Chains A and B, each alone.
Chain A
Amino acid sequence: MSSGRRWLAVGLEVAVPLLALALWAVLSAGSETYYFPPLTEIFSTFADTWLFERVGSDVVPSLTRMGAGLAIAVLLGVGLGLALGLSPRARRATSPIVEFLRAIPPPALLPFAILVIGVGNSMKVFIIGLVCLFPILLNTIDGVIGVDPTLRETARVYGISRRDRLRNVVLPAATPQIFAGLRTSVSLALILMVISEMVASTNGIGYFVLESQRAFAIPEMWSGILLLGILGYALNGGFALIERRVLRWHRGARASALS
């Protein structure tokens, strides 16, 4: 690519999203269509609603549910994944059960959670944790199986204790794979947070968006959709940053091995 074309490419990369936004603003300006209010109105409603009036009442509860569910999924997923990854027989025994549970579309488990736990906070944490568990669990298992056998056996030959081998050899080697699972789980957690709040809740972003629609508060509804979009983007970007930081040694090791 010539340098002129390269500059054009960079310019386009910045300009196109801005243009799309501008197009939305222009097309919706003075809009009479009830469902598509002007973008400026959505923005001003967004500022009124989310900066920072409903942060304490809706955003914080939503994020807390997500964080708690994810934390449980990581603890259980990595723990169980290490155990199953290290024991071929346990893996073989549990694989049909794990495969079946994983195949159930996650929202189908929501009525089960409501029945068993009720409609409170713990139900949301439970369903988020349960659904996010599987990507982490399966990826941890794969990561542990994929540990270089030479590495594992060398550590054993040197008489490193089982505990130290787990912490210093197996776990670090499996980390890239664990992060791949975690990435899926983060977006699943957001989805399950929204659904569980839509089905049974008295606060939270998902509840707010659906209630706004039911009350025909259309700009409010759009502002909530916008917030969820920003949240999805921010979680994705934030996760990529953390991943890059935690796996720096991994990328570095790979780059030096290639050169």
Chain B
Amino acid sequence: MTALSRAAGGGSRAHLPDWLLPWLAVAAALALFDLAPRVGLLPREHFPPISESLAELVSQLGEGSFWTAVGKTLQGWILGLGIAALLGIPLGLLIGSNRLLYRALRGLIEFLRPIPSVALIPLAILIYGTGMQSKVFLAAFASFWQLIVASLYGVQDVDPVATDTARSFGFGPGQRLFRVTLPSAIPYIATGLRIASAVSLILCVTAELVIGSAGLGRSINLARSGGNEELMYALILATGVLGLLLNAIFVKAEKRVLHWHPSQRPLGAEA
């Protein structure tokens, strides 16, 4: 760094408070993507000024077709995640709590887990067609592995002393499950659910894009092939907002459910 730029950096540091930085950066990025196409720095047919895409997004908020697409995507997301949770969490808990069962199935799980779920798209089309069922199947398949592995690790992380203590105090298997095993495994399951939620959304958008099931993914692709670039960007932005919102919901729920857990305490609180 030269002395000059250091001086300039020092000068701006005095003027710009930290909280202003993110706002400035966002404003600068928006200005760049609004002005660059207007002055010809970016090809206008591929990059409409961002203000026009944002205006399109606002007008879409009043369109029924937009909300139908959002609804279809969300429907696939929740069904996929729900099925995966109903199957994956109990299976993971069961396999994780039995040493022999775990060893027997470990190889199978480790082999099946890295298979990219998108490889099953053709199979899904064959069996379930191009509608909601295919989408749900793919989303559930992909999220299932996240959840089974998360709950498996969760159970195995249970403090053996806690389990033994509960046992010597005469807790039955059911009581041990609900009072010792589950509370220790829940942080893992919560993280697994948050990741599985993102995975489910990704697979829904993929299915809509590749197979053509109704939803945001298909709408984005139709906007592109129809030459409506503003709409395409507006819908991509909307999909990003949806991803942010779903993630925020899970983070908030995690905080709420796990308020007692050390991972949720503010840093430095233990000191």
Contact A17 B240 (CB under 8 A): no
Among B180-188, B200-208, B260-268, the one that faces the other chain is B200-208
Contact B210 A195 (CB under 8 A): yes
Q: Which of A103, A110, A116, A228 contacts B115 (CB 8 A)?
A: A228
Residue A236 is within 8 A (CB to CB) of chain B in the complex: yes
Q: B126: nearest residue on chain A (CB-CB)?
A: A35
Q: B125: nearest residue on chain A (CB-CB)?
A: A213
Chain B residues within 8 Å of A190, by CB:
116
Chain A residues within 8 Å of B86, by CB:
none
Q: A193: nearest residue on chain B (CB-CB)?
A: B116
Among A49-57, A93-101, A145-153, A169-177, the one that faces the other chain is A93-101
Residue B41 is within 8 A (CB to CB) of chain A in the complex: no
Q: Which of B22, B107, B127, B217 contacts A96 (CB 8 A)?
A: B22
Distance, CA A5 to CA B216, complexed state (A):
52
Chain A residues within 8 Å of B117, by CB:
191
Residue B167 is within 8 A (CB to CB) of chain A in the complex: no
Q: B21: nearest residue on chain A (CB-CB)?
A: A93
Known A12-B103, A187-B116; contact A100-B244, beta-carbon cutoff 8 A = yes
The A-contacting residues of B in range 102-130, CB under 8 angstroms, are 103-108, 111-112, 114-123, 125-127
Q: B201: nearest residue on chain A (CB-CB)?
A: A105
Contact B22 A107 (CB under 8 A): no
Main secondary structure of the interface of B (DSSP, over half): helix
Residue B221 is within 8 A (CB to CB) of chain A in the complex: yes
Distance, CA A109 to CA B220, complexed state (A):
9
Would you give the shortest CB distance from A11 to chain B, in whole angstroms?
9
Would you give the shortest CB distance from A215 to chain B, in whole angstroms?
11
Contact pattern, A 150-184, Cβ under 8 Å of B = 1, otherwise 0: 00000000000000000000000000000000000
Contact A233 B115 (CB under 8 A): yes
The A-contacting residues of B in range 199-232, CB under 8 angstroms, are 201-202, 205-206, 209-210, 216-217, 220-221, 223-224, 229, 232
Chain B residues within 8 Å of A16, by CB:
104-105, 107-108
Q: Which of A97, A187, A221 contacts B29 (CB 8 A)?
A: A97
Residue B18 is within 8 A (CB to CB) of chain A in the complex: yes
Chain A residues within 8 Å of B125, by CB:
213
Distance, CA A97 to CA B235, complexed state (A):
17
Known A9-B104, A198-B210; contact A111-B220, beta-carbon cutoff 8 A = yes
Contact B100 A235 (CB under 8 A): no
Contact A107 B224 (CB under 8 A): no
Contact B25 A93 (CB under 8 A): yes
Contact B103 A13 (CB under 8 A): yes
Contact A110 B209 (CB under 8 A): yes
Chain A residues within 8 Å of B121, by CB:
198, 209-210
Distance, CA A241 to CA B105, complexed state (A):
22
Chain A residues within 8 Å of B202, by CB:
105-107
Residue A20 is within 8 A (CB to CB) of chain B in the complex: yes
Residue A61 is within 8 A (CB to CB) of chain B in the complex: no
Contact B244 A108 (CB under 8 A): no
Distance, CA A14 to CA B198, complexed state (A):
33
Residue A92 is within 8 A (CB to CB) of chain B in the complex: yes
Contact A103 B209 (CB under 8 A): no
Q: Which of A9, A13, A100, A191 contacts B240 (CB 8 A)?
A: A100
Contact B205 A107 (CB under 8 A): yes
Chain A residues within 8 Å of B236, by CB:
104, 108-109, 111-112
Distance, CA A210 to CA B239, complexed state (A):
26
Residue A30 is within 8 A (CB to CB) of chain B in the complex: no
Residue B271 is within 8 A (CB to CB) of chain A in the complex: no
Chain A residues within 8 Å of B209, by CB:
107-108, 110-111, 195, 199
The A-contacting residues of B in range 162-186, CB under 8 angstroms, are none
Chain B residues within 8 Å of A93, by CB:
21-22, 24-25
Chain A residues within 8 Å of B116, by CB:
187, 190-191, 194, 228-229, 232
Beyond A16-B104, A232-B114, 19 extra complex contacts between A and B, CB < 8 Å: A9-B103, A13-B106, A16-B108, A35-B127, A105-B201, A105-B202, A108-B205, A108-B235, A109-B236, A111-B224, A116-B46, A191-B116, A191-B117, A194-B116, A209-B121, A210-B210, A221-B123, A225-B119, A229-B119
What residues of chain B have their CB less than 8 Å away from a CB belonging to chain A? 13, 18, 21-22, 24-26, 29, 46-47, 99-100, 103-108, 111-112, 114-123, 125-127, 198, 201-202, 205-206, 209-210, 216-217, 220-221, 223-224, 229, 232-233, 235-236, 239-241, 243-244, 247
